[in-house]
Amino acid sequence: MTMEIYEKKHYFEAVVHLVEYVVFMALGIEMIRVGPDALRHYPDWVWWLWLLVAAFFLIMSVAMLWQRINRYLDLHVNHMPALIIEKDCLQIYSRGKYHIIRWTEVQDFKYVHMSKMRDMYYPIYKDDSRNGSRLGLQFHCDAFFCDHLTLSQQELLDELKKHI
C-alpha cells in the first residue's frame, strides 16, 4: 500500500518568501554599492567585513530562492508528492530528490514549530548517533515541512506512527 501526500498551493506564503529573498539580495547589492563611500573614513578591515556580510546576503538569498523555486516547480507544477508512505519506508522530497527512511530505523517523529509559516517533523532514529544535533533543522534532508500538506498535522502524525 502506497500513500502519496501532496503539498497544497500556498500562493501568499510563496510570494512572501519571494519578496524576502529579493529584499535581501537588494540589501546585499546596495551594501556593495554604497560601501566604498560610506566607509572611506574607516580602516580597510571594516570594508572587507562589510563586503563579506553583503556577499553572505547575496549568496544565501540566491541559494534559498533557487531551492524554493525548484521545490515549488516540482511539487506544484510537476505534481510530485511531498511525502510517499510505503509499507517499508517513508520517502521525503527534499532538495530535488526523494530521501528514503526505513520504518525499522525510526522510533518516533518530533514536531517542531519553526515560525509563523513553517512547521516540520523529523524522525527520531533508534540509532542515537543518527539523531545528532537538531540545530539548523531546515538543512536536514530527513526533516520535512508539514504546514501545507493535504493531511492535517495530526492525521499525518497518526499515519506515520502506524508504521513504526
Mind listing the pLDDT tens digit for each residue in 82-95? 999 999 999 999 88
C-beta of residue 66 within 8 angstroms of C-beta of residue 96: no
101, pLDDT greater than 50: yes
Residue 61 sits in the same domain as residue 99: no
Give the residue-averaged pLDDT of 44-72.
93
| CA-to-CA dists, residue 121 to 44, 47, 62, 104, 146, angstroms | 45, 41, 26, 18, 7
Residue 159 sits in the same domain as residue 84: yes
What pLDDT score does 138 carry? Answer: 42
Residue 84 sits in the same domain as residue 73: no
Domain span at residue 96 reads 80-128+136-163
Residue 91 sits in the same domain as residue 152: yes
d(CA 84, CA 97): 12
Residue 21 sits in the same domain as residue 96: no
Residue 74 sits in the same domain as residue 2: yes
Structurally, the chain folds into a number of domains equal to 2
Q: Residue 106 pairs with which residues in a beta bridge?
A: 125
Residue 141 sits in the same domain as residue 116: yes
23, pLDDT greater than 60: yes
Residue 12 sits in the same domain as residue 37: yes
Q: Average pLDDT of the chain?
A: 87
Q: Which helix (H) or strand (E) holds 144?
A: strand 144-145
Cell of 140: 536536514
What pLDDT score does 146 carry? Answer: 82
Q: 62: closest CA among 32, 31, 97, 27?
A: 27
Residue 31 sits in the same domain as residue 98: no
Residue 86 sits in the same domain as residue 142: yes
